[in-house]
Amino acid sequence: MRDGPLYLGFDLSTQQLKAIVVQSDLQVVSDAKVDFDQDFGAKYGIKKGVLLNEDEGEVFAPVALWLDSVDLVLQRLREKNTPLNRIRGISGSCQQHGSVYWGRQAETLLGGLKSDKALVDQLKDAFSHPYAPNWQDHSTQQECDQFDAKLGSAERLAEVTGSAAHHRFTGPQIMRLRRKLPDMYAATSRISLVSSFLASLFLGAVAPMDISDACGMDLWDIPGNSWSEPLLELTAGKDGVAELRSKLGEVRLDGGGSMGRISSYFTTKYGFSPDCDIAPFTGDNPATILALPLRPLDAIVSLGTSTTFLMITPVYKPDPSYHFFNHPTTPGQYMFMLCYKNGGLAREKVRDALPMSSADGSDAWATFNKHALATPPLDIKSDSDSAKLGLYFYLPEIVPNIRAGTWRYTCNASDGSALQEAAQPWPAETDARAIVESQALSMRLRSQKLVTAAPTSGLPAQPRRIYLVGGGSLNPAIARIMGDVLGGAEGVYKLDVGGNACALGGAYKAVWAFERAAGETFDELIGKRWKEEGAIQKVDDGYKEGVFEKYGKVLGAFEDMEERILKVARNT
């Protein structure tokens, strides 16, 4: 393999840009990353990768930060002596829903990049807007109400686009920016998703959007396989449909193949081969399901900045409370997703509220884990104890659509009856387990429609395997609690690449994009080359008789608690 082709996958997520290089046999040969706060916090004033305008609920990232990061991550790969000249193809995964606004000079500037200058200096006039809205943005309630109403109901919108209206989805975001910044909108020649933006840099031309990532916009008609005319009209006005269509461009239906050769900027500056091809890039969640051969009834829990729960299915069963996307490589397959804003950062808040003892050393997660594991399921220590349930929303949540706040309830452990707000707050130590249980209970509740079969006879309906990815997958206590609540007939596994799963999925996508035989699906090609040993590790037994059922008894109470809180604390 010393001379064979290599494939590069990127992950441009909320807090980092990661790059990973693999061989044709899927062995990882190199990786590098840029941490936005550490590397560019001072230059851009960002925190956790983003800027905030709290008055309006806006969350956004400077596009220039990403340009700087692309040069830096490639420099880091080169410093590690990565043979960039052997890279045959590039793909990648990027945070979903974010949008980048190109100005009229974009194509000329992208096509004329010179290797003696940085991307950030040469592309400063390529954009009509310096910022990309981030998926944590919640400034678009007004637009979301109109999206939900446009086709008759949120249910109908979900049937057409795979999702009801969500603050972060690109259609409502574009609609709001057009209203707030009409001159900027008029000066925009093209709109990219973050994935097609990153692909555009490597292509030296504005790249088409990808068939899976386009489903995160509330604009793409999934059954019709086209932009939805009425939703374009809502976003851009009756007379603006043709203009918006041209800004969005065509969506590329094939997740593989080449969109073109790499820009000479990268060949001259970093030593890429001029024969290196650019495959379509996709969203970070669609790329995550490409990090291993996933089977129906397997579930992935991604513990990044957001927490997501992912499954694949051949059955299109949309519902306003979750998302359906086209599969990024396989027509006729779909990705099911739940997404929570209160993921990694919410767990960090609970962690940081814990009293630290000197015995815990300097590892704050060690304290969190000690309490999470010392607390029994639902904090039921004896038969007479009530079950404890909480919601820990430091940001307004997506599902349920509840404003920021913390709520603590109790109910009877045997059947979830006598649900009531806790008479007094329980100790911070109890929250460590309760927040992870709460996140997992929400996933179990909302994936019930898909998890209707038992993967092993004699066991209750549950996922076959749970795969953990993202930064939080390194945490054994979180793995344990995920297994307690969600089950997993064959157990809970973590990917050895930990936080790099979506970059790895991007790299595998590039392997498939350029090495597939005619008609060979991603699963066929990757299934033949992927070896379980060295790729995944079992980190928990998953289903534990008695424990899984204990959570089942309070699932209804958990749903009732959410409904009660929704009545008084809905996002407006």
Ligand X SMILES: O=C(CO)[C@@H](O)[C@H](O)COP(=O)(O)O
Ligand Y SMILES: Nc1ncnc2c1ncn2[C@@H]1O[C@H](COP(=O)(O)OP(=O)(O)O)[C@@H](O)[C@H]1O
State the residues that interact with ligand Y by CB under 6 A: 13-16, 304-305, 344-345, 347-348, 365, 470-472, 474-475, 499
Q: Which two tokens stand for residue 317?
A: 């069963």
Contact 20, 507 (CB under 8 A): yes
Instruction: At 177, list the tokens.
Output: 């920016």
Interface residue with ligand X, options 284, 397, 429, 484 (CB under 6 A): 284
Report the nearest approach of ligand Y to the CB of residue 537 (Å). 15
User: What is the closest distance, in whole angstroms, from the C-beta atom of residue 438 to ligand X in the complex?
Assistant: 18
Q: Which is nearer to ligand Y, 470 or 487 (CB)?
A: 470
Both tokens of 561, joined, read 């608690």
**What minimum distance in Å lies between the beta carbon of 45 and ligand X?**
19
Q: Is 339 in the site for ligand X (CB under 6 A)?
A: yes
- Which of ligand Y, ligand X, none lies near 471, with the C-beta cut-off 5 to 8 A by kind? ligand Y
Nearest approach, Cβ of residue 71 and ligand X (Å) = 21
Q: Which does 96 bind (CB under 5 to 8 A by kind): ligand X, ligand Y, none?
A: ligand X
| Under rule CB under 6 A, residue 170 binds ligand X | no
Q: Is residue 329 a contact point for ligand X (CB under 6 A)?
A: no
Nearer to ligand Y, 203 or 477 (CB): 477
CB of 340 to ligand Y, least distance (A): 12
Q: Show the DSSP H helices in 303-398 as ranges.
A: 344-352, 364-374
Whichever of 106 and 398 has its CB closer to ligand X, that residue is 398
Rounded to an integer, what is the distance from CA 310 to the centroid of its chain? Answer: 10
The entry of ligand X, ligand Y, none near residue 348 (CB within 5 to 8 angstroms by kind) is ligand Y
Out of 285, 401, 430, 442, point to the residue binding ligand X (CB under 6 A): 285
Query: For ligand X, which residue of 128, 306, 375, 473 counts as binding (CB under 6 A)?
Result: 306
Question: Which of 84, 507 has the CB closer to ligand X?
Answer: 507
Nearer to ligand X, 13 or 196 (CB): 13
Q: Closest CB to ligand Y among 416 and 472?
A: 472
Among 7, 14, 193, 436, binds ligand X (CB under 6 A): 14
Q: Closest CB to ligand X among 307 and 430?
A: 307
If contact means CB under 5 to 8 A according to the sort of partner, which of ligand X, ligand Y, none does residue 92 touch? none
* Residue 151 beta carbon to ligand Y: minimum distance, rounded to whole angstroms: 32
**HSE-up of residue 166 (Cα within 13 Å, Cβ side):** 33
The Cβ-side half-sphere exposure at 552, using a 13 Å CA radius, reads: 12
- Inter-helix orientation angle 501-515/522-529, to 10°: 110
Q: Which residues contact 50 (CB under 8 A, 6 or more apart)?
A: 14, 59, 60, 61, 134, 136
Q: Which does 168 bind (CB under 5 to 8 A by kind): ligand X, ligand Y, none?
A: ligand X
Return the number of the residue (256 or 286) whose C-beta is nearest ligand X: 286
Local structure of residue 78 (DSSP, 8 states): H
Relative to beta strand 87-94, strand 282-283 is parallel
Closest-CA residue to 326 (of 216, 409, 235): 216
Please state the closest distance from residue 473 (CB atom) to ligand Y, in A: 8
Q: Which residue has the tokens 């109901």?
A: 153
Comparing CB distances to ligand X, the nearer of 508 and 543 is 508
Q: Indicate the residue among 9 and 470 with the shorter CB distance to ligand Y.
A: 470
Measured between alpha carbons, how far is 91 from 279 in angstroms, rounded to an integer? 5
β pairing state of 58-62 and 131-133: antiparallel
Minimum Å gap between C-beta 457 and ligand X is: 35
Instruction: Using alpha carbons, select from 45, 44, 52, 40 the residue that is nearest to residue 16.
Output: 40
Using CA atoms, how far residue 393 sits from 116, 347, 402, 557, 571, in Å, is 47, 10, 8, 18, 12
499 binds, among ligand X, ligand Y, none (CB under 5 to 8 A by kind): ligand Y
Is residue 33 within the footprint of ligand X (CB under 6 A)? no
Radius of gyration of the chain (CA): 23
Q: How far apart are CA 117 and CA 396, in angstroms?
A: 41
Task: Pick what 339 binds: ligand Y, ligand X, none; C-beta below 5 to 8 Å, kind-dependent.
Answer: ligand X
Other beta carbons within 10 Å of 521: 16
Smallest distance from ligand X to CB 281, Å: 13
The residue within the footprint of ligand X, chosen from 23, 69, 95, 282 (CB under 6 A), is 95
Work out what residue 97 binds among ligand Y, ligand X, none; the CB cut-off runs from 5 to 8 Å by kind: ligand X
Q: Which residues contact 404 (CB under 8 A, 6 or more apart)?
A: 393, 394, 395, 396
Among 135, 265, 325, 334, binds ligand X (CB under 6 A): 135
Q: How far is the CB of 283 from ligand X (least distance, A)?
A: 6
Looking at residue 65, its amino acid is L
Q: Pick from ligand Y, ligand X, none: which does 135 bind, CB < 5 to 8 A by kind?
A: ligand X
Residue span binding ligand X (CB under 6 A) among the ranges 92-100, 182-190, 345-353, 362-370? 92-100
Looking at beta carbons, which pairs linking 374-378 to residues 24 or more positions away fall under 8 Å?
374/429, 375/429, 375/430, 375/432, 375/433, 375/434, 377/433, 377/437, 377/484, 377/547, 377/550, 377/551, 378/413, 378/437, 378/550, 378/551, 378/554
Is residue 133 within 8 Å of residue 99, measured between CB atoms? yes
Position with the least CB separation from ligand Y? 471
In sequence order, the β-bridge partners of residue 260 are 278
271 backbone φψ class: left, alpha, beta (φ>0; ψ -120 to 50): left
- In the list ligand X, ligand Y, none, the entry touching 192 (Cβ below 5 to 8 angstroms by class) is none
Residues of this chain that interact with ligand X (CB under 6 A) are 13-14, 95-97, 135, 168, 216, 283-285, 304-306, 308, 339
